[in-house]
Amino acid sequence: MRKNESVCPHCGVILDPPPKQSRKCPDCREKIILRTDPNTKDKVLLTEASVIEFDEEKKHIMGRRKILRLLWFEKDSELSYEKAESKLAEKFGSKPSPSDVYWSIANRKAAGLARNPEGRGTEYRNAQAAGMIYHQMALHLHDEGKSKARVQQVQRQGLRWLLINSQIMFAEFESGGDVSISSDVCCDTCLTSHKKQVGDLDELCANWESLPVPQEGCEFDYCNCSLRAMPNHNKKSTYVLKPKKSSSSKVASAAAAQEAGCLTSLVTLATLLFGLACLLVVVL
């Protein structure tokens, strides 16, 4: 971004007082465009030719800031952004847009979390975090004016992983679940067409591509319907939890590590004693 200047960008004459809006130079009569630097908030005086480049740069800076706020799931959002931007620039042969950088990071993160849904790569269970990221990605697509079908496709992925998160929670108590639709904050079409109870949790997770929401006929550009899963102890969950490491195996592992450490210490001590003995022999 340019430094704050009080001179005409055309002829260099000092403007006193500095202009508070776009106007013609009182000396050369050329048009001066006034802009605000997004970093310093200073007023910047530009020519009509340079304002195009300035606006593009400003758009990129503001877009980058927005994306950094969306990267809550990254430990170091700035570093993640820079790495992704560098890789995409090498791939595209030009500087990628902040939107491309976000999509690259979010898609990689969500897919990675989904590979281990029961783990905890963030403060949330991975399945829940993946669902939240996919929903955020859908909103991002909506804000960019992408097609309703594309937005709902990603929305459905988000709902899928949030339901799987409920599956995991209920399976820990050996319980199945039922799912209902909440359309309270959506349109009249969704409110009247959806039945409260929509089905079995396990079945919906297995057939997630056919989830009843988001609804194609929703009056809004972004369907705000949600799915609510409730445990049903009369049902047995079909979700198979990964076996957790038992406390006895953890104790055994710790004991083995301690034994290995002791053995290493003994070997080290024996080596030192042998070296000392050799030294004494040489001296004697």
Spell out the domain ranges in the chain. 1-48
Q: Specify the pLDDT at position 245.
A: 64
Within a 13 Å sphere around the CA of 222, how many CA atoms are in the beta-carbon half? 17
> Does residue 284 or residue 258 have the better pLDDT?
258
pLDDT digits (tens, 9 = 90+) for 3-26: 546 899 999 999 988 898 999 999
Give the lowest-confidence range in 59-63, 80-84, 269-273: 269-273
- The rounded percent of the chain whose pLDDT value lies above 70 is 83
pLDDT-derived band at 2, boundaries 50, 70, 90: low
Scan for tokens 């996919």, then name that residue: 134
Give the lowest-confidence range in 156-165, 226-235, 250-259: 250-259
pTM of the prediction? 0.76
pLDDT-derived band at 35, boundaries 50, 70, 90: very high
pLDDT-derived band at 267, boundaries 50, 70, 90: very low
pLDDT(55) > 70: yes
Distances in whole angstroms, Cα of residue 222 to Cα of each of 64, 135, 150, 162, 277: 24, 11, 11, 18, 81
